[in-house]
Amino acid sequence: MSTTHIFNVEMTCEGCSGAVDRVLGRLKGQGVDSVSISLPEQKVSVTSTLSSDQLLEIIKKTGKKTTYVGSE
């Protein structure tokens, strides 16, 4: 079952949000259903069957400071 996980990610530009979108986009069809990024709010919502810990580690690979907020 998919859950929507929300993360605060330190993003300052389109390049930052693009990097996050790329690492999560590689997993579409492999546990990630959809990704929504709000650059002004510095929030990333990921609908996925993966755990929040797995997603957190994947987003951290971009080098951005990331914290888990919760799920919807």
| CATH code of the domain containing 8 | 3.30.70.100
Query: 72: pLDDT confidence band, cut at 50, 70 and 90?
Result: confident
The helix/strand/coil state of 21 is: helix
Residue 38, domain extent: 3-71
The domain total for the chain is 1
d(CA 12, CA 31): 27
d(CA 18, CA 12): 11
Write out pLDDT tens, residues 20-61.
999 999 999 999 999 999 999 999 999 999 999 999 999 999
In which region does residue 60 sit, left (phi positive, over 0), alpha (psi from -120 to 50) or beta (all else)? Answer: alpha
Determine the pLDDT at residue 4: 98
pLDDT at 5 over 90: yes
